[in-house]
């Protein structure tokens, strides 16, 4: 993993599985943070082993479980049922609807925490509109926001995770990295009905289902690895499954989690 990037990992604490972000670099010692939405961030210096990281988490398991539970309970009390909520990267965030100032068009503004993780989506609409029309405008604003967030997330994941995985694979095989893996032509977001994503192996264009941004980061990472792997193996043969296992050993568990939602 490159310095100052993060990867989604899982660990069992007190018999329950927890997802956390593992950030590498930029710190001198292991540290832990529970965000207001209950998500977990672990930062480690370069060179810290998996065993050291997991030992650190297990040593802090009681505090982590309590902090996550408190954060989720506090967040649940803050729900404004009049405005609603949506799911972003597997976490619920609130949607608050406000009246737009005169002359301002509808827009969605996202509030974030110190780690740039969304905490609330504020949608402004014209106050004099009928409730049904207002709801349609809110839904449209949310869809546009989701598309933008997904493209941004996919680009960041490509830089932080995909390039590392395929670079290691190419180095082990003694082969150059595929040009479209290194530099995909374009990331598109569409309202797909039967696929999570697709890739054009001839043009280097990758398309993603807009609603994918609602799923946990580990599920989206699986989809990205799956699509980029098609540049090396365009079918779903046993060779493709073997390639997926080499790139992402737990891909079947991630796929199962994705399809269960």
For 208, the 3-state DSSP assignment is strand
Give the number of C-alpha atoms closer than 13 A to the C-alpha of residue 111, restricted to the C-beta side.
11
Per-residue pLDDT reduced to its tens digit, 201-223: 999 999 999 999 999 999 999 99
**Segments in the chain below pLDDT 50:** 1-4, 78-82
Name residues whose C-beta falls within 8 Å of residue 62's C-beta, 6 or more positions apart in sequence: 14
Q: What is the pLDDT of residue 77?
A: 54
Q: What local confidence, expressed as pLDDT, does residue 113 receive?
A: 73
pLDDT of residue 110: 77
Give pLDDT tens digits for 83-115.
678 888 888 888 887 776 666 666 677 777 766
pTM for the full model?
0.66
pLDDT of residue 241: 96
DSSP 25-45: SS-SS-EEEE-TTS-EEEEE-
């Amino acid at each position: 993993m490159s310095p100052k990037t993060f990867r989604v990992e899982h660990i069992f604490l007190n018999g329950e599985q927890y997802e956390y972000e593992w950030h590498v670099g930029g710190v001198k010692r292991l540290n832990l943070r529970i965000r207001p939405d209950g998500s977990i961030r672990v930062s480690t210096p370069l060179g810290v082993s998996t065993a050291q990281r997991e030992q650190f988490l297990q040593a802090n398991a009681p505090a982590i479980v309590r902090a996550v539970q408190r954060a989720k309970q506090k967040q649940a009390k803050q729900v404004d049922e009049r405005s609603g909520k949506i799911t972003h990267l597997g976490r619920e965030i609130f949607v608050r609807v406000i009246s737009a100032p005169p002359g301002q068009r509808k827009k969605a503004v996202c509030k974030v925490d110190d780690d740039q993780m969304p905490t609330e989506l504020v949608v402004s609409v014209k106050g004099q509109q009928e409730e049904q029309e207002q709801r349609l405008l809110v839904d449209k604003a949310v869809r546009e926001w989701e598309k933008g967030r997904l493209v941004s997330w996919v680009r960041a994941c490509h830089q932080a995770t995909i390039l590392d995985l395929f670079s290691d694979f190419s180095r082990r095989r003694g082969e150059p990295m595929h040009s479209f893996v290194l530099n995909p032509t374009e990331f598109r977001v569409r309202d797909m009905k039967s696929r999570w994503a697709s890739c054009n192996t001839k043009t280097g264009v990758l398309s993603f289902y807009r609603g994918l941004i609602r799923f946990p980061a580990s599920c989206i990472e699986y989809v990205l690895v799956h699509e980029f792997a098609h540049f090396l193996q365009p079918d779903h043969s046993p060779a493709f499954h073997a390639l997926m296992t080499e790139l992402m050993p737990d891909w079947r568990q991630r796929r199962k989690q994705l399809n269960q939602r």
